[in-house]
Amino acid sequence: MAIIFELEVSTAEAKNRLTELIRLVEHGERVTITRHGRPVAQLGPPPANKQRKVILGGMRDRIKLLPGWDEPISEQELRGER
């Protein structure tokens, strides 16, 4: 989606109009938020959704669990009191 045009608003105005500004961004506009006339933030569309393919066993041999990692611990150990 191409950016239609860019809107500049102060932080106070952005706070009062956030729902409206989000709707504008959904329709392709970019919103720059300023403080004392200087840009401090920008609202824009999220990055494209890049889904990674899940590979079963992809981390095999990369993660090592030490012996005893699943043994129960006492309440004192849980609180960090050894």
Domains of the chain plus CATH, in order, are 6-43 (3.40.1620.10)
Q: What is the pLDDT of residue 3?
A: 53
Give CA angle at 12 (9, 18), nearest 5°: 70
Are the CB atoms for 45 and 21 separated by under 8 Å?
no
| Backbone phi, psi, residue 40, to 5° | -125, -20
- What mean pLDDT comes out for the span 58-67? 85
Q: What is the pLDDT of residue 6?
A: 83
pTM assigned to the model: 0.54
Residue owning tokens 């919103």:
31
Are the CB atoms for 9 and 21 separated by under 8 Å?
yes
Q: What is the pLDDT of residue 28?
A: 86
CA atoms within 13 A on the CB side of 52: 4
- What mean pLDDT comes out for the span 10-17? 96
- What mean pLDDT comes out for the span 41-64? 83
